[in-house]
Amino acid sequence: MKIGIIGSGALGLYYGAMLQRSGQQVRFLLRRDYHAIQKTGLQVYSCNGDFHLPQISGSLSAQEIGTVDLVIIGLKTISNHHLIDLVSPLLGPETAILTLQNGLGNEELLAEAFGARRVLGGVAFLCSNRGESGTVYHSGEGKITLGEFNDGLSQRSCDLAAMFQAAGVPCTAVSDLRRARWEKLVWNIPFNGLCALLEEDVTNLLNHSQSKELVRNLMFEVITGANAQGLEEPIDGPGFSQKLIFFTESMDHYQPSMLIDRIEGHPLELEAIYAIPLQQAKAAGVNMPRVEMLHTLLSYGESEP
């Protein structure tokens, strides 16, 4: 399969590298890593085994990539105003689009521009960071849950899940993409937000009993908002929140992406991870006051839209 990667950060580089190593034809849209990768290839340092790809098909423009069978989007949502222009040159009559971006609203944006039948969404539980140019560090996890934007378990989503699995990426196709999106928010909203606000990693956050309790309370609010969305099956609040906390306790001093963005002075993904979920919860009759306060505090100092 010919695959185009839009958004070659830690997520796009890692999954693209895994797919290329398995034999897929992967073409990366690159920015800061372009010259390093053209010169020395892509180096992946992974908890599952390091590997190096000496030859990478990288381009500085979407037009250079050309038509592909599948577009995988790992672009930060703060750049979604460029998304349509970046994706358009890659589309043929049957090209599918899989967005692995954080938060809510990404599938809707793509469906409005290109038609809902093309669009799939995926949720990536991946611990990865970029290092020096041409390198990516994978410290844990990597599972993808994906599904059709229009819901329903399709053969296409099952085939894509099988492709990722063959590449060594655990992947499951689901019938309820909305539920998967909100499940990721149960982790993203407290951990990304609190770590960025306090400039502390997940281990330090959980080692403080009061902040750990705040994490749990934020999770309960998000789960209440999620369960008001008409999911196929409700999320179990106590069980799911404890599972995520236990999972995070194994992430040795992991720095979420929003913490890194705050430290490096980059804009935060507040619209997709906070504003839209708050809007959708409120529309369903659920207020999330702790989430709203966290959003307000994170917004302080950010540039006005």
Residues with catalytic roles: 184
Residue pointed to by tokens 């038509």? 67
Find the helix or strand (DSSP H, E) in which 109 lies: helix 106-114
- Cβ atoms of 156 and 142 within 8 Å: the answer is no
Residues in the chain: 305
Find the helix or strand (DSSP H, E) in which 65 lies: helix 62-65
What is the DSSP secondary-structure string of 13-60? HHHHHHHHHTT-EEEEE-STTHHHHHHH-EEEEETT--EEES--EEES
- Cβ atoms of 192 and 256 within 8 Å: the answer is yes
**Torsion sign, CA atoms 101, 284, 229, 115:** negative
Q: Exposed, middle or buried, 15 (CB in 10 Å: 0-12/13-18/19+)? A: buried
**Torsion sign, CA atoms 24, 27, 30, 33:** positive
For the chain, strand residue ranges (E) read 2-6, 25-29, 42-46, 51-53, 57-59, 70-73, 96-99, 119-130, 135-148, 171-173
Three-state DSSP class for 72? strand
Provide the pairing of β-strand 42-46 with 51-53: antiparallel
Q: Can you read off the two tokens belonging to residue 182? A: 């909100």
